[in-house]
Chain A
Amino acid sequence: MPDVAQQAQGFEIVAREDFSEATYLLEVRHPMMARAARPGQFAIVMQSEHGERIPLTLADFDAAKGTVTFVIQAVGKTTREMQRDCRVGTRLYAVVGPMGIPSELGRARKVVCVGGGLGVAPVFPQARACKQAGAYVIGVVGFRSKELMFWEDKFRAVCDELIVCTDDGSAGIKGLVTAGIAQALAKHADIDEVIAIGPPVMMKGCAEATRERGIRTMVSLNPVMVDGTGMCGGCRVKVGDAVKFACVDGPDFDGHQVDFDDLTSRLGRFKATEREALERWQESCRMPGRGEA
């Protein structure tokens, strides 16, 4: 593969799909990463030379096509700018990965894969890998409403059961993913693992839902980081009595051990600067009537 030439000009976006006002998918050509990637790993992306390095969990990878897929929510300046500018045929300045320790899969016989909101995308490779390893896979995916749903078909293809949860009840059961977990736990007495990916508050809820029965519950943490290679320590998280770096010691950790309050507070480290960046950017490009929801 002519990786050098490709890199000199950045990493080409070969597909884009918009799931909603705020959520979009980018498929990027990177044959080497597509071959190397395993479920649970992430990559760091820079849109431009002046951009910041943002960690994104791999939502999919296809060695045959030579592509990796990210599902991104436009929340801050960088992700909104990417939403505006990343089109098929344009290039990302930097994409590095796969990073982190791949998820330990294949031991569980019956597994619940839980994705909340944006976490729905990165839990997909885990569900697929569990299925390929011969496990009975129960998918639990949660969205605010039916309009925000995506990848139901992809999940149906790899899950033995799929429980859809929406906050407003417009699809599936009404309630949070924890309601879906409760339903799965009630029906199956022999679940031996839960994999939960989503916002910290949701992963915390999932870990609490399984704590009593002592079911192994793995969560994927995505704290603030710079390099992603263990060098800056910005992504340190409290797991049990230890401090771990999510980038090289994770990103998967035992959800029953993770201090989610600490994670949530540390995710707000740069809130003021991030707000300033977003406001400044919105002013400068005068986005008419967007992002009001």
Chain B
Amino acid sequence: MAAAKKKKTIRTIPQARTPMREQDPLARARNFEEVTLGYSREEALVEAERCLMCADQPCVRGCPVSIDIPGFILKVSEKNFHGAYDVITDTNLLASVCGRVCPQESQCEGVCTVGESLEPVAIGRLERFVGDMAIREGWANVPYIEPAGLRVGIVGSGPAGMACAADMAKAGCEVVVYEAFHTPGGVLKYGIPDFRLPNSVVDVEIDKLAKLGIRFECNTLVGRLFTVEQMVTEMGFHAVFIGTGAGYPSFMGIPGESLNGVLSANELLTRCNLMRARDFPAYDTPLAPGKRVAVIGAGNTAMDAMRVSLRLGAEKVLCLYRRTRAEAPARAEEIHHAGEEGVEFHWLTSPVEILGDALKRVRAIRCIKMELGEPDASGRRRPVPVAGSEFEIEADSVVYAIGTNANPILGQTSKLALDKRGYIATDGNLATSIPGVFAGGDIVTGAATVIQAMGAGRKAARGMKAWLGLRDTESIYEEADAAAVPGAFGIPAQERNHARVRIA
């Protein structure tokens, strides 16, 4: 525990949350440089002072991977930045990524004690500060790893796969990560644009995983090049984790969706971010960006698609959403940033038809006004069309960002049990219907966030370690749990070594 300093109270801490410097909205809306510039050392020290070090620690419970948040903030305020990095990497190898893209307002910061009377501690910004300093200074915490003699295969190199791979590598397993694209990173590379999360940051984080001995094999479409069943039989993997994401983008099924100029946000973002169509002709991938772009949806992906469109030179970018701003699923910060950059929001607006010209290109989009009725299953008020309120909006490009469905490839090529929506069915430990095969992230839950996927990857790793009979090094200090489950023959439950049975 910390040296007994003068106890902080809500009155003695800096009252205002330390702002983070940002690029000017109008300038940044035309470039792909990062929007937010991160804390300086001084700013980080001021913000760290705002943590009360409360005994309750609701933030730790609010974090899907349970980072010891007061622990790392204490190290920051002691100017022991490497120490802070050590605390974070105990549970999360991707500090720079999570500090940028986690929805902290609904996780750690949303339950922060300071937040009850003031603005909450800027935990995400502090995490990013520590992660970025680690990158600049070249810190990489490679723990001593005792080889366990077991092989683990990971399908998908996105956040879920990376988190699971890291935990299994630390547990001494030989880990191979398979990726269908030509470069690893998953949604962090193809989806989240550089101005929110630079691909160079993702590459540094992947290098750290490689330093743990994890091997990345790209250009590998699991299911088609070899099956999940082959991995656990002839390829000799003792366990497999599936973190392929959700993928398959949804459209609405309204007339005009096959017009040229209609595309999914996934396609727009992949062309721009991963394939670098924005640097055409230095890169070959075409994009044909619109001048007047209508984006349907108001989630984080929609915000990314809109802000990318602005940067690709669109004169006008419209957001069409059938509910109101209050129901929009995007992070408040993303909506704020998009608005600042000039995105025009059309709330309570739902498309009914996309109109084309003689050359089958998008010319306009016909919409109908909505109003909010009774709450639906999700608890949000159901939007209802207002009769006779149809109107046209001129547009030359329409981008769908209304969610995704389950990717069908593994369902087509394996005997994995799926749920009724086509996602992979798992038990509480994220084990699938095939022994030794675990799954987590969007392919289990449907679209969620990066940190939720990482949380799922780590949870699956715990299940996998138990299945493989590896001691879970994390749970050894969790005395409360140990007491709850009395061990046999005086051996704590967590230390039990399972005999591993292979089911052929």
Contact = CB atoms under 8 A, between A and B. Distances in A.
Contact of A233 (B217, B224, B251, B253): B251
A52 interface: yes
B285 A232 contact: no
Contact of B215 (A4, A32, A41, A233): A4
Contact of B217 (A3, A101, A229, A276): A3
A25 interface: no
Given A36-B226, A98-B225, A248-B248, A277 B408 contact: no
For the residues of A in contact with B, the DSSP-based class is mixed
Nearest to B215: A4
Contacts of B54: none
B224 A36 contact: yes
A83 to B, nearest CB: 15
B468 interface: no
Contact of A280 (B190, B266, B281): B281
Contacts, number: 138
B363 to A, nearest CB: 14
B221 A229 contact: yes
Interface stretch (B4-12, B257-265, B475-483): B257-265
A51 interface: yes
B314 interface: no
Contact of A94 (B182, B264, B276): B182
Interface in A88-104: 93-101
A77 interface: yes
Contacts of A274: 286
A280 B373 CA distance: 55
A7 B219 contact: yes
Contacts of A245: 248
Interface in B247-279: 247-249, 251, 253, 257-258, 260, 263-264, 266-267, 270-271, 275-276
A78 B284 CA distance: 8
Contacts of A269: 260, 288
A231 B225 contact: no
A99 to B, nearest CB: 6
Interface in B210-225: 215, 217-221, 224-225
Contacts of B190: 227, 231
A277 B412 CA distance: 37
Interface stretch (A15-23, A126-134, A260-268, A285-293): A260-268
B285 A231 contact: no
B287 interface: yes
A273 B280 contact: yes
A260 B267 CA distance: 22
B109 to A, nearest CB: 31
Interface in A246-284: 248-249, 262, 265-266, 268-270, 272-274, 276-277, 280
A53 interface: yes
A38 to B, nearest CB: 9
A50 interface: yes
Contact of B412 (A4, A52, A101, A236): A101
B283 interface: yes
A99 B182 contact: no
Contact of B219 (A94, A101, A234, A262): A94
A41 B215 CA distance: 28
B221 A273 contact: no
B409 interface: yes
Nearest to B191: A231
19 contacts: A50-B282, A51-B283, A53-B275, A96-B182, A96-B220, A97-B221, A97-B224, A101-B412, A226-B275, A227-B180, A228-B180, A229-B247, A230-B247, A231-B190, A233-B251, A248-B409, A269-B288, A270-B287, A272-B288
Complex A-B, nearest 6 residue pairs according to Cβ-Cβ distance, in ascending order: A273-B286, A232-B267, A270-B286, A94-B182, A52-B284, A233-B264
Interface of A: 3-4, 7, 32-33, 36, 41, 46, 50-53, 77-78, 93-101, 226-234, 236, 238, 243, 245, 248-249, 262, 265-266, 268-270, 272-274, 276-277, 280
